[in-house]
Chain A
Amino acid sequence: MRTVTIVGASLAGLHAARELRAQGFDGRLVIVGEEPHHPYDRPPLSKDFLTGRADESRLALTDADETAGLDAEWLLGVRARGLDTRGRTVVLDDGRTVSTDGVVIATGAAARRLPGDSPAGIHTLRTLDDARALRADLSRGPRRVVVIGGGFIGAETASSCARLGHEVTVVEAAPLPLVPQLGAPMAAVCAALHRRGGVELVTGTGVAGLRGTTAVTGVDLTDGRALPADLVIVGIGAVPNTAWLAGSTLALHDGVLCDDGCVTALPQVVAVGDVARVGGARTEHWTSATEQPRVAVTNLLAGHTRTTARPLPYFWSDQYDSRIQFAGRYREGDTVQVTEGEITDDGAPGESGFLARYERDGRTVAVLGVDRPRAFMRARRELQRAEGERGERAAAPAAL
């Protein structure tokens, strides 16, 4: 393999580049990035970057030394438009083509938007440019902010806006945010954080439309209410960036379909990060984006799926001065109980946080920690070990 092209100068794309070099690939390495920026870290965008506690230099994922060591050709500020049916040519938006022997797809996901035109004052928060624009708007004095969507991005952004002194309302269509991720009891605990942080949470109602022609002035809800707003932040999820792959032979369905080793139907094409649907699941987690590239690159260089990985899902969220950490796989019907720390009478975490364990058929399948990092870390490791052992047992018959 003489040339490998990584499409997506993202966290996952950068980790793929690191892995390629670490695993001995010494050929031509091309990295294509739609944004003009070198790879940067997204988690701080809704938190310290938005509140001004961290500047852009804190977001950089690489430095000059590493960039030189990677010895890659960076094609930044240009989007990929197509991949030929054999995965041997990447076509760029400006008409250039890159002939390649291997491809790593790391194009991530884009913020889902509301349908229709957007007047001024409507934001999404996904990219550095999104965050810059929102930060600029938030710095223009106190604003009435409506956040649409009570997921992690919505909650973190609402928390940051409240910290900056804005008046914030979060609108969530479901009766309670984060139920699919955490289950109702623990989702209720997170909902209580909004209250504690001075943010109003409006649930069980959708958005009927936005008011304002040149600039937004309010949000109409489906229950008939209207919320005045100077700024609206839309946090309603993300859509994997696969449109550029139409016309390739790759199977696309809410992501690029790959086996458990991140390999597509073309052995010279692998996918990692938010855009990859690995073994039937797509995970928009920072940790997956850093873990998948090792396996994907091994398989890409081998020319077939030699190794697979099903890491234990892990994500965290910082909101209202609380750190939420979750590991494992929650399913509806799992029972959950607090095993350390406590939840206070107002339904929010106690001062020293808590650890909760999710159980199914008598075994722990997931753990949630709120401001309890040490206990959480221990529990996460136990879970990882148990999962590894079960994986080995399951794999044993095949190995015989």
Chain B
Amino acid sequence: MIPVCRLEDLPAGESVRIATTPPIAVFRTEDGELYAIDDTCTHQDASLSEGWLEGCLVECPLHAASFDLRTGEPTCLPARRPVRTHRVTVEDGVVHVHLGAEEGTAA
């Protein structure tokens, strides 16, 4: 379980990248939901935490591949493989990521 940041430091519509190996991106959607996925686009080396967040989808900043934060599945080309998802909890106002979720399973 990895502490990420205080919940109030992650406003809705924003994301934060944590430097694990491999790195993980944590998102807070406009609806306030929290999701964590592997940060690196499965198509080519780009950081999804820098992508465009729209609803539960994040668009890669390099080639516009899009991933569903809930499942890690790509929703359009050029990505073809899913990113791993990780469970997120908030404890005492701090966002935590739980590693070890299986590839492609929902957080």
Contact = CB atoms under 8 A, between A and B. Distances in A.
Interface of A: 18, 41, 43-44, 48, 61, 63, 66, 286-287, 290, 316, 323, 325, 373-374, 376-378, 381
Contacts of B62: 316, 323, 325, 373
Given A18-B77, A325-B62, 8 more contacts: A41-B78, A48-B45, A287-B63, A290-B77, A290-B78, A377-B50, A377-B52, A377-B59
Nearest to A63: B80
Main secondary structure, interface of B, reads loop
A290 B79 CA distance: 13
Contact of B50 (A66, A287, A316, A373): A373
B61 A43 contact: no
Contact of A374 (B45, B50, B78): B50
30 contacts: A18-B77, A41-B78, A43-B44, A44-B44, A48-B45, A61-B78, A63-B80, A66-B80, A286-B63, A287-B63, A290-B77, A290-B78, A316-B62, A323-B62, A325-B62, A373-B46, A373-B47, A373-B50, A373-B61, A373-B62, A374-B50, A374-B61, A376-B61, A377-B50, A377-B51, A377-B52, A377-B59, A377-B61, A378-B52, A381-B52
Nearest to B52: A377
Contacts, number: 30
A378 to B, nearest CB: 8
Interface of B: 44-47, 50-52, 59, 61-63, 77-78, 80
A312 B21 CA distance: 36
Nearest to A381: B52
A41 B44 CA distance: 10
A167 to B, nearest CB: 26
- Give me the 6 closest cross-chain CB pairs, A-B, nearest first: A373-B61, A374-B50, A373-B50, A377-B61, A377-B52, A316-B62
A41 B78 CA distance: 10
Contacts of B45: 48
